[in-house]
Amino acid sequence: MSLPSVPKLEEKLDKEKLDEALIQQARFVCEQAAIAAAEWRGLGECVAADKAAVDAMRAALMSLPISGKVVIGEGERDEAPMLYIGESVGKGVGAEIDIALDPLEGTNLCASSTANALTVMAFSPRGGLLHAPDLYMEKIAVGVEVGADVVSLAQTPEENLIAIAKALKCKVSSLQVCILERERHESLISQVRSCGARVQLIPDGDILAAITTTDSKSGVHAYFGIGGAPEGVLAAAALKVIGGFFEGRLVCRNEQERVRAEKMGIVDFSKIYAMDDLVRSDVIFAASGVTDGSLLDGVRFEDDGVSVHSLVMHEASKRIETTRARLPLSHLSQPHLYQPHQSLPRSAPSG
Ligand code: VTB
């Protein structure tokens, strides 16, 4: 039996250098997609906004010195022209990276210029992320203060609420659960309310909803409900770094979806995926704000450039940071759409 070798100092430093480069690259990719999407804010054009984000994200990924493979993307090769699952991105040199991406999380939010549209991406070493098919996923997320093994999709919403209240030493009536406002959640919403807990309904954006549970000042104690499976893996990546708990269970609604899942090796739809099943190794998570939101500000178009607010996190180094990049106008993906009057100051100038 051989003992695992202790990495030499140079190897350790090389790994740190590589991680640092990947963190910067992940941030750069999200910034580029956010700027492109922001040019479509409020124009009511979901498809165009999404396409702009996808094109910009792909161009940015292609410029990186990585051997990247999209494992969570915009769909499969035959239905998505770009950033499809299995697509190779990057220059084909350097680190072998698996990539989960959501170029525009909340296309409706962007098209209607409402809060919390983001661009989101995660990098992981090859094999580090569950190759989740583009199906729905039942999800539950809580912050680190609730603790491990408190909530589970194997329990009813009532059991979960009682367990959370016990862990937080509060009453169920003090709890607030974030849920996507969808018809499919009518029964879940009434179950939560009949326990006495409160419900915060959101129109879209359940990656952010899961992240919000980790902020003890947010007033949101849990996220429950069914959203996209790709968004589930991205939420798990974020919670793995910040500290929090997430479970997911794929939802298969018809034969077509079952075949799609089977092609990706998934046959057991009763399986509950813990955070470590969804994200199996080190991970870098990055997000940039497109519209103003509770976590990140939206892109600001200013007279001589653009500013982008981003969050980057790295599991191994437990690094979590927000940054504000100012990029010159030459970085705009579609300069013809740039209008200086789109500048959105934080508060109206007085006088
Ligand atoms: C969620 C949410 C996304 O899709 O996963 C949701 O995070 C689920 O799909 O922002 P439906 O819209 O079909 O319910 C979004 O709302 C849009 O991608």
Model pLDDT for residues 16-39, shown as the tens digit of each residue = 888 999 999 999 999 999 999 999
The SS3 assignment for 14 reads helix
pLDDT the model gives residue 332: 61
Average pLDDT on 138-146 reads 97
Please classify residue 350 by burial: count the beta carbons closer than 10 Å to its beta carbon, then call 0-12 exposed, 13-18 middle and 19+ buried: exposed
Average pLDDT of the residues of the chain: 90
With tokens 């909340």, the residue in question is 106
* 182 CB within 6 A, ligand 1: yes
Atom of ligand 1 nearest to the CA of 206: 7
Nearest CA to ligand 1 atom 11: 227
The rounded Å distance from CA 110 to ligand 1 centre is 13
Q: Among 184, 204, 207, 234, name the best residue to mutate to test ligand 1's pocket (greatest count of ligand atoms within 8 A of Cβ).
A: 204
How many Å apart are CA 339 and CA 224, to the nearest integer? 40
Residue 248 CB–ligand 1 contact under 6 Å: no
Say what percent of the chain tops pLDDT 70.
91
51-55, 227-231, 344-348: least confident range: 344-348
* pLDDT surpassing 80 at residue 143: yes
Q: Which DSSP letter does residue 206 get?
A: H
Ligand 1 probe mutation, 231, 234, 253, most atoms within 8 A of CB:
231
158-167, 231-240, 260-269, 342-351: least confidently modelled range: 342-351
* % of the chain residues with pLDDT over 90: 78
Model confidence pLDDT, tens digit, residues 12-22: 778 888 899 99
71-113 pLDDT, tens per residue?
Answer: 999 877 777 788 999 999 999 998 899 999 999 999 999 999 9
Pocket flag, ligand 1, residue 205 (CB < 6 Å): yes
Index of the ligand 1 atom closest to the CA of residue 102: 18
pLDDT for position 336 = 44
> Interhelix angle for 186-194 vs 157-168, to 10°?
40
pLDDT of residue 304: 78
Angle at 73 between CA 52 and CA 18, to 5 degrees: 95
Strands 136-143 and 118-125, bridge-based pairing: unpaired
- Is the minimum distance from the CB of 206 to ligand 1 under 6 angstroms? yes
CA of 204 to the centre of ligand 1 (A): 6
Pick the atom of ligand 1 nearest to 226's CA. Answer: 8
pLDDT above 50 for 348: no
* Nearest CA residue ID for atom 8, ligand 1: 227
Domains of the chain: 10-127+284-342 (3.30.540.10), 136-278 (3.40.190.90)
User: Of 181, 166, 221, 228, which is closest to residue 197 (Cα–Cα)?
Assistant: 221
Q: What is the pLDDT of residues 301-340, one digit of tens each?
A: 987 789 999 999 999 999 999 999 988 776 565 544 444 4
pTM, 2 dp: 0.91
The residue with tokens 């989101």 is 120
- Produce one character per residue of 74-90: b if its CB has 16 or more CB atoms within 10 Å, e if not: bbbeeebebbbbebebb
Task: Supply the pLDDT for residue 346.
Answer: 31
Q: What was the pLDDT predicted at 2?
A: 43
Average pLDDT value for residue range 199-228: 97
